[in-house]
Amino acid sequence: MPKLLSVNHLLKNRYRVLSVIGHGGMGAIYLSSDERLTGRNCAVKEVEQDPGLPEKLQQEAREQFYREASILARLDHPNLPKVSDFFSSGNRDYLVMDFIPGQDLRSMVEDARQLGKFLDAGDILGWSAQLCDALEYLHNQSPAILHRDIKPGNIRVTPNSLVKLVDFGLVKVLIPDEMTITVMQGRGTALYTPLEQYGGDTGHTDIRSDIYALGCTLYHLFTGQAPPEAKQRFLNPDSLIPLRHQNPMVTAEIERTVLWAMALHPDDRPATVGDFRKALFGDNAPPTPTAPAARYVRSLPKPILPLSQPDRVLAVIGASLFIIAVLASIVP
């Protein structure tokens, strides 16, 4: 794992590291202050190139980073963080984005589970509509852009209930011959990754890969449980428990639409996010919320416990008296 930058480290003579937001095997994300714009905080994503690669390949990777980071910098959508800068330092590449305040959906699901509750279905549908907006915007770019790592942990809800799909670390740009190129190397998170993405850059992915990850994300939000990996589902189809078996408040339409998006074969999924949206909402997609969401409402279903012996006796006596009373009222 690359060595983390220290607090107060100054990048590009402009971005001062305040703390580490997250890190992994290929880099990290830092909360940083913009020294040029007083009071502005940003998220700086760092990716370290493989030092074992030949110099020529490292140069090609860097050129690819600059080409595709420039594409991300042109994106402008309310449900996506704005990329404001990109640069390199040594063998590390950096992408500077808006810092998004609020809580991510993964932690919100976990908080709800700790309270024995589900997230509110109305809130989930409102977030889903915003996610569909963001994905349609990405997929309708020319060439189309894939996110490739949609999951609850990469979705933040701001204090005014605006959803932001963060972490562009695995964005791919579809070029006309249907080959794909990766902005920053990575393979997504296994629980939300479709089978066709398991091969990394050797596998063929398209917009239906994002739709699969979106379906898995909604499955997690509605049930409080992450779905099994696609590989496990392929080997054991019964490993995927239907949504309504876990949360009886989920409607049949929601369950059917989410499972459609989670189909193992891309041809069996919605062809576009628009198709998924129509199945989920019809023509009545909820508007973007303007007030903070109610975080939890419904409790997890409680098990039905067997009656004790005294309770069974009282129940039988009560039922017998009720029957006698009914018969007495209808017999002349």
- pLDDT at site 213: 95
For the record, the structure tokens of 76 come out as 């402008």
Measured between alpha carbons, how far is 209 from 196 in angstroms, rounded to an integer? 8
| Nearest alpha-carbon partner for 105 in 65, 153, 60 | 153
CA 180 to chain centre: 22
Ordered structural domains, the chain, with CATH: 11-98 (3.30.200.20), 103-299 (1.10.510.10)
Q: Could you tell me whether strands 296-299 and 10-11 are parallel, antiparallel, or unpaired per DSSP bridges?
A: unpaired
- pLDDT at site 257: 96
Contact 165, 79 (CB under 8 A): yes
pTM: 0.78
Contact 50, 59 (CB under 8 A): no
* Residue 150, H or E segment: none
Phi and psi at 240, nearest 5°, equal -90, 110
- pLDDT at site 287: 55
Residue position matching structure tokens 């502005």: 40
Phi and psi at 83, nearest 5°, equal -85, 120
For the record, the structure tokens of 99 come out as 């810092």
Q: Could you tell me whether strands 145-146 and 172-174 are parallel, antiparallel, or unpaired per DSSP bridges?
A: antiparallel
- pLDDT at site 302: 40
Catalytically active residues, by annotation? 149
Low pLDDT (below 70) residues in the chain: 1, 25, 168-188, 199-203, 283-332
- pLDDT at site 283: 67
- pLDDT at site 70: 87
Q: Strand (E) positions, 175-266?
A: 180-182
Q: Sign of dihedral through CA atoms 88, 94, 95, 101?
A: negative
- pLDDT at site 49: 78
| Nearest alpha-carbon partner for 275 in 254, 260, 255, 253 | 260
Buried b (16+ CB within 10 A) or exposed e, 80-102: bbebebbbeeeebbbbbbbbbeb
